[in-house]
A and B are shown apart, each in its own frame.
Chain A
């Protein structure tokens, strides 16, 4: 199984900050990586697929990069609605998710 490790587990930031979340795969996954956002009591929401392609309707302040085993999600200028938990997911071989990064208000 491919293990996905996110860091940090928790991130405290303020509105307007630029933040980056890192995701590492235990083996090569090419660019088969997606990012999801989840708010309490809600289903996950697809933000980015194939490492860097923004899903329709997702604000351009979100961006993704990386390849192989190291990937990042960046939010360029945090808005109030961005405080949530973020998950990376590899889909090179079936699915596996990172443990999540909770983005909280500082």
Chain B
């Protein structure tokens, strides 16, 4: 069965970077993209971007463009999301999820458990 397992919680200082991993299994890694979505405490869901493990194409939201990099490691079927220049506004649970697509229209069908990133001095 499809499994998506994320790395553990992180505590970072303002200005630092964080790199969250998303280990996938149970399906053909290069056949499905991965999205990243975050949720600030008590708030809703915010899409950050996605990556295609097939060709490493990425799309990032305007809000995090320039601070985020998503990468893949096909040998370990793992996806990484690095966010730089952290501020307290980046404190959130970060979720990765597998994209199911019809042409270019994709939604998430399997989610990781989430990774809490806390930014605090």
Contacts and interface: CB of A to CB of B under 8 A. Distances in A.
Interface of A: 1, 32, 34, 36, 43-46, 49-50, 55, 87, 89, 91-92, 94-100
B11 interface: no
A38 to B, nearest CB: 8
Contacts of B119: none
Contacts of B87: none
A91 B95 contact: no
Contacts of A92: 105
A32 B45 contact: no
A5 B12 CA distance: 33
Contacts of B109: 46, 49, 55
Given A43-B113, A49-B100, A97 B106 contact: no
Query: How large, as a class, is the contact surface on chain B?
Result: 20 to 34
Majority secondary structure, B binding face:
strand
A97 B44 contact: yes
Given A43-B112, A44-B95, A98-B44, A91 B105 contact: yes
A59 B97 CA distance: 22
Interface string B95-114: 10100101001111111111
A91 B110 CA distance: 16
Contacts of B112: 43
B59 interface: yes
Nearest to B4: A43
Contacts of A32: 105
20 contacts: A1-B62, A34-B107, A43-B111, A43-B114, A44-B97, A44-B111, A49-B100, A50-B102, A87-B44, A87-B45, A89-B45, A89-B107, A91-B105, A91-B107, A92-B105, A94-B61, A95-B37, A97-B37, A97-B46, A100-B44
